[in-house]
Amino acid sequence: MIINMNTYMIPNYSQQVSAGGSPVRKGIYSTLGILSFIYLTVTIILFYKRRQRIADIRYRPLRLTIFNSIAIIMLCVMFCFRSGFYPMEYPCFLIHWPSYIGFFLVCASITCRAIVFIWVARYHMAKLRISLMPESNTIPISPMTPFTPVHDRMGNTGNPAARLLRQLKKWKKNATDIWMTQRILYPTIAIAFLLAFIFQITSPDLSLIPMRTECPIGSEHIPVFIILSLFLFIICPILIYLLYNIRDAYGLRNELMVTLIVGSFSFIMFFIWEYSASGLRLYFGSFMFPWVTLILSHTLSITIPVWKSYKYSFDISKLASFHDKRISRSKKYEQFEKVLADPDLFKLYKGNINFLIIIIKRSLLTTNFFFFIACAVACFCTELILFLEEYQFLKMLVAKCCTPTKKSLFPPPPTPKLHVSDDIHITFNEENLFIKESSILPPLSPASYISTPCTKSIVETVSAASWIPFPYELRTDYRMFYDSYLDLNSDLAINFSGSIVNTVKNLIANDQFELSMYENAREETLTLLYVNTFEKFLRMFESEIRSKKIFDN
């Protein structure tokens, strides 16, 4: 009996060896597998170590990205060695386990990354839209408040933009890296491991003793085929549809789109190559199609950000102290100030009307007032632009209070009103950066009001602001400014350094308002805007900047 078994096993083994690939093929694919492992491992380690120096790390879910890369390592190494030792020299269980854990994890992590990015983009769009949308068809303009502050609009239940923002806020805690990892990825890994273990102990094709190297299609492949089919034919089209009209300055949308589109094509080619071109598989393995996609995805999401972190190196943890004399005296920062001082170019920082209209059916608002924000939303820095705009409003109020002829700035009642057309078209004052209507608001006298760009402080604009007592009538406006941009619970809160927030918070708590209490916050806002957006702004609007010739001097 024993002799017969050995006699049976020896020919089978020799048959498997003869059925294997050539030594050259084994060497090529084995080398490729080793190089893939080294490349993927080194870059993911560098990505983790240099995460604080990657400019857009705030919008790259760290845990989702790392889990995605771990799955890519498992799959790419398996793809290479399986292709090299094809058809019957590679153990089936070494295909089985990486396939289950890898495919389940890749599909789940890419889906979660796309969902997080879509939510962030729509959330920033909603925050800017709420500052542009009027509360009703007619907006009263009081003598002290030319437009309704963003803080008030966010609390107005009748504002459609506010309703959209509240709907998005319901999912705020769910659209995070931690929540997606704990609630989606961990269960996915557990399910994949459980299914792989069940089929490992029940399927004879996955036996370890004797080790099976001939791997026919069986019931153990059904869960993998189901998850891939759901991802390719249902999830991918939905995600591509949701990502299509989003534009961002970091290239995150393009990364996801390339991964989804190329990935769908490559997996379709894998199935065609695997089950219809058996002869060609001896020269080019079917697993090489998904291998190319996974390497491309890893390069876009990991390698390029790491490379940029060396080329454009800065430390996010030290960003609070970034606004120093060296930066403020640099030539590029002077160009940045010129852009902010130019009314037309500053409007481009917020949005370009030529690029704004998007198909209304993609909006959750029942209005055609749907803006594509060219730079503010593209860089996910809506709060920074709104901060500077409302700072300009505070500056105007201070100028009014510090002017002896302040009573002549606004006429007595009836209170003027801004009428908005049926298509909700509104206009902005190009000098003062808030809503106006030239036929309604009285012109401000140059002698009574001095306009300066947002790069100039209140004290630089109104010298009296450095010594006069704080006007009581400005307390509400200054407090709402804090509630909007420095209160950590605000939807428009900016990530200021703790010292800035605590200083202002203590002044308000002790009822010691100062006209210049927001100057440090303004400087840090300018720094954040400069570091995060200016290079991208120059690329996005190169022709407009060249036509203005403001950098020629």
The confidence score (pLDDT) of residue 424 equals 41
Angle between helix 93-132 and 160-169 (nearest 10) = 150
* Distance set, CA 317 to CA 27, 96, 485 (Å): 46, 43, 20
Check if the beta carbon of residue 246 is closer than 8 Å to that of residue 120: no
Which ranges of 415-469 would DSSP assign to H, the alpha helix? 458-461
- 217 phi and psi, to 5 degrees? -75, 125
519, exposed or middle or buried, with CB in 10 Å at 0-12, 13-18, 19+? middle
The reply to whether omega before 210 is within 30° of 0 (cis) is yes
The confidence score (pLDDT) of residue 417 equals 43
The confidence score (pLDDT) of residue 446 equals 38
Query: What stretch of H or E contains 417?
Result: strand 417-419
Query: Other C-beta atoms within 10 Å of 302: how many?
Result: 24
Angle between helix 288-298 and 252-276 (nearest 10) = 170
Whole-model pTM: value is 0.69
The confidence score (pLDDT) of residue 126 equals 78
Three-state DSSP state, 541: coil
Check if the beta carbon of residue 528 is closer than 8 Å to that of residue 494: yes
Query: Both tokens of residue 104?
Result: 């389940």
pLDDT tens, the chain, 553 aa long: 333 333 333 333 334 344 456 888 889 999 999 999 999 999 999 999 988 888 777 788 999 999 999 999 999 999 999 888 877 788 999 999 999 999 999 999 999 999 999 998 888 777 777 665 544 333 333 333 344 555 555 555 556 667 777 788 888 888 899 999 999 999 999 999 999 999 999 988 888 888 888 888 888 889 999 999 999 999 999 999 999 988 777 788 999 999 999 999 998 888 888 777 666 666 777 888 999 999 999 999 999 999 988 876 655 444 444 444 445 556 777 777 777 776 666 655 554 333 333 323 333 332 222 322 356 666 777 788 788 888 888 888 888 887 655 444 444 434 434 443 444 443 434 444 333 333 333 443 333 445 678 888 888 888 777 788 888 888 888 998 998 889 888 878 887 878 888 999 999 999 889 888 999 999 888 888 887 777 777 777 677 667 766 666 5
Distance CA 373, CA 128 (A): 8
- Report the alpha-carbon angle 316-385-330, nearest 5: 55
pLDDT tens, position by position, 296-330: 999 999 999 999 888 766 554 444 444 444 455 56
The confidence score (pLDDT) of residue 345 equals 63
* Distance set, CA 534 to CA 304, 340, 498 (Å): 20, 11, 25
The confidence score (pLDDT) of residue 108 equals 97
Length of the chain (residues): 553
The domain segmentation of the chain, as residue ranges, is 2-136+147-312, 330-548
Q: Is 429 left (phi over 0), alpha (psi -120 to 50) or beta?
A: beta
Query: Both tokens of residue 255?
Result: 């990364």
The one-letter code for the residue type at 356 is: L
The confidence score (pLDDT) of residue 269 equals 87
Query: Both tokens of residue 535?
Result: 């290079």
Query: Other C-beta atoms within 10 Å of 189: how many?
Result: 17
Cβ-based neighbours of 198, under 8 Å, separated by 6 or more: none
- Ordered DSSP codes for 362-382: G-SSSSS-----TTTTTTT-H
Residue with tokens 């009263």: 140
The confidence score (pLDDT) of residue 440 equals 37
Residue 307 CA from chain centroid, whole number: 19
463: Cα within 13 Å, side-chain hemisphere: 0
Q: What is the DSSP letter of 418?
A: E
3-state SS, one letter per residue, for 139-205: EECCCCCCCCCHHHHHCCCCCHHHHHHHHHHCCCCCCCHHHHHHHHHHHHHHHHHHHHHHHHHHCHH
Query: Other C-beta atoms within 10 Å of 222: how many?
Result: 12
May I ask the CATH architecture of the domain 2-136+147-312?
Up-down Bundle (1.20)
- 428 phi and psi, to 5 degrees? -120, 145
Query: Both tokens of residue 26?
Result: 């084994």
The sign of the torsion formed by the CA atoms of 454, 397, 516, 528 equals negative
Three-state DSSP state, 88: coil
The confidence score (pLDDT) of residue 79 equals 92
The confidence score (pLDDT) of residue 314 equals 54
